[in-house]
Amino acid sequence: MKYRLFLKITRRNALTRLVASLLLFLSLGLVLPVPVRADISDKDATELLTKLGDAMAKIAERVTPAVVNISTTRTVKAPANPFFNDPFFKRFFGERSDGGQKRKVASLGSGFIATSDGYIITNNHVIEGAEDIVVKLANNKEPYKAKVIGMDSRTDVAVIKIDENNLPTIPWGNSDKIRPGEIILAVGNPFGLSHSITMGIVSAIGREGMGISDYENFIQTDAAINPGNSGGPLVNVKGEVIGVTNAIFSTSGGYQGIGFAIPSNMVKNVMDSIISQGKVVRGWLGVQIQPLTAELAKQFGLKDDNGVLLVDVTEGGPAAKAGMKGGDVVVEYDGKKINEPYHFKNMVAETKPGQQVPVKIIREGNLLTANVTIGELPVQTEVMPNVEIDNALRGVSVQDLTDEYRQKMNIGGKDRGVIVNNIDEDSPALGIINKGDIILEISHKPVVNAKEYNKIVSGIESTSDVLVLIVKNGVRQYITVPAKSAK
């Protein structure tokens, strides 16, 4: 039975004031064993605190067996002289060998068992680039070697698996129903301290635009989260997972009262998609959007700034086929009001491809409904350069330029090109071309996709300087990668 809290503090001893403060803080959602009285005694106060402590301990006992310690190793190259590895130095003096050696680096993170047959949830950044992944359970038995089932950098979620059955799990909670102020526990391995538990509240929900991942809808909490907590569960007072911790806001690198977790509903959707289909399937509308400010609303003749503005519509995409146009203002998606671009983006991504969704738009002051058949978001496929390439663009890796990346980087819909997703440390182009640059042309030849890029680059002589048209930080510019840098 739940009791509403009515406190009138008449006694002024320290214990009574402490109990009153704690009960006011912890009253939301918790089942109290006895009614709270205004004339609470020291004995009653002690009993209440004891019962409250027991309740929190039971939650911890319920969830910690399913929380795991994840350790990874990866190989990195550590230059003997960091100066030689500076991109500015390489640009003017080319490659210099300084005898740097490769070494193994170990790191720690957290995770939790999602299914009894060994599927484990953690963060993408915990296992990214790992050569070995070792999982240690709470029972302190021999650790398990884990294999990667799928990784999703866009939400920072990863699924790994160990070969074991009848494992303890944590039930999923509904993150759509959480409210600011609810009590939560964060469980993980901060600084390698296994199965540490911290308590706090939900500070805020729907945090977006943090620049942490592509799809953001974070739960903010004041529960202490430190390095090593990443991938651990955030649980409610029912012992249900309502989030997966993945980031902190800090100027010192440690806890400062602001942590972030990925909502459980988003995590579960990603996990189910990875396990059942081997990849993350997302809905796709084929539009570029931006926030609708008060100034823009006035220019478009709108009464208020509720909604998001369509900047561009992809030719032949789902939105275009449904008659949507640039300049339309989306105010409702599948019966739900739209106010923020990130909210709209997440809703579209979570829609199953092939589903028809009514989208309400305002065009020239008229409210219209477009029935859109949602498509599947194209998967970004990384394409490494041909292994036989021995010219100025050796070691430059690219992927196709997607609509999603155009929106993120505010790139016009007419440009066709490829995104630079990686540059090897020994590439002659390092420091001239950077990760995130968009290549539009090579030697006056248009680069429309990654396949065309490989074809053009593989035909360049090792002695030739290469003229490249790129978009760097939103600005088009021609650059030259000199042949003298190529091996």
pLDDT in tens, 331-362: 999 999 988 888 898 899 989 999 999 999 99
In this prediction, what percent of the chain has a pLDDT beyond 70?
79
Over the chain, what is the mean pLDDT? 80
Residue 99: which region, alpha, beta or left (left: phi > 0; alpha: psi -120 to 50)? left
Question: Which residues neighbour 195 within 8 Å (Cβ) at sequence distance 6 or greater?
Answer: 64, 67, 69, 138, 187, 188, 189
Rounded-to-integer distance, Cα 131 and Cα 104, Å: 10
Strand partners, 119: 161
**Mean predicted confidence (pLDDT) in 195-199:** 88
Calculate the alpha carbon distances from 274 to 106, 150, 239 in Å. 26, 6, 25
The residues near 170 (Cβ < 8 Å, ≥ 6 apart) are: 63, 66, 67, 112, 113, 114, 233, 235, 239, 240, 241
| Better-scored residue on pLDDT, 134 or 303 | 134
pLDDT at 252 over 80: no
The tokens describing 268, both together, are: 């579960």
Spatial distance between the Cα atoms of 454 and 393, rounded to a whole number of angstroms: 10
Kindly report, as residue ranges, where domains of CATH 2.40.10.120 are found in the chain: 65-277
User: Catalytic residue among 152, 156, 305, 403, which?
Assistant: 156
Asked if residues 234 and 223 have their Cβ atoms less than 8 Å apart, the reply is: yes
Q: So what's the pLDDT on residue 91?
A: 41
Tally of CB atoms within 10 A around 331: 19
Q: Could you tell me if 188 and 201 are in contact, meaning their C-beta atoms sit under 8 angstroms apart? A: no
Superfamily of structural domain 382-485: PDZ domain (2.30.42.10)
The strands making up 132-136's β-sheet, listed across from edge to edge, are 144-145, 132-136, 67-78, 101-113, 119-122, 157-161, 147-152
* In the chain, ranges of CATH 2.30.42.10 domains: 283-376, 382-485
C-alpha closest to that of 337 among 304, 379, 296, 300 = 304
User: What is the full DSSP assignment across 257-285?
Assistant: S-EEEEEHHHHHHHHHHHHHHSS---EE-
412-424 exposure pattern, b = at least 16 Cβ within 10 A, e = fewer: ebeeebbbbbebe
Active site residue 458: no
CA-closest candidate to residue 43, choices 13, 78, 79: 13
CA distance 353 to 363: 26
Q: Cβ distance 328 to 362 under 8 Å? A: yes
Q: Which residues pair with residue 413 across a beta bridge?
A: none
Is 203 an annotated catalytic residue?
no
- What is residue 31's predicted lDDT score, i.e. its pLDDT? 44
Over the stretch 79-109, which tens digit does the pLDDT of each residue have? 555 544 444 444 445 445 455 566 777 788 9
CATH class for the domain made up of 283-376: mainly beta
Contact 442, 435 (CB under 8 A): no
Please write the tens of the pLDDT for every residue from 24-43.
Answer: 444 444 444 445 555 667 77
Distance CA 337, CA 307 (A): 8
Beta carbons within 8 Å of 256's beta carbon, 6+ residues apart: 248, 249, 250
pLDDT digits (tens, 9 = 90+) for 142-196: 899 999 999 998 899 999 999 999 999 999 999 989 999 999 999 998 887 888 8
**Residues listed for the chain:** 487
pLDDT above 80 for 381:
no
In the numeric block, which tokens belong to residue 278? 């081997």
Q: Which two tokens stand for residue 448?
A: 């429309």
End-to-end Cα distance, the chain? 76
418, 455 contact by CB (below 8 A): no
* Cα–Cα distance measured from residue 106 to residue 192, given in angstroms and rounded to the nearest whole number: 12
Which phi and psi angles does 80 have, rounded to 5°?
A: -65, -35
Give me 261's structure tokens. Answer: 């977790």
Active site residue 343: no
With 0-12 CB in 10 A as exposed, 13-18 as middle and 19+ as buried, what is 487? Answer: exposed
Q: What is the pLDDT of residues 388-423, one digit of tens each?
A: 578 888 888 888 777 666 655 656 555 678 888 888
Mean pLDDT on 441-455: 86
Chain-centroid distance of CA 246 in Å reads 8
pLDDT of amino acid 388: 57
Active-site residue, selected from the candidate residues 71, 125, 264, 328: 125
CATH topology (fold) of 65-277: Thrombin, subunit H (2.40.10)
Question: What is the reported pLDDT for 35?
Answer: 52
Catalytic residue among 203, 230, 264, 397: 230
Q: Could you give the maximum distance between any two Cα atoms of the chain, in Å?
A: 90
Place of tokens 């050696």: 101
Nearest to 19 by CA among 54, 56, 44: 44
pTM attached to this predicted model: 0.66
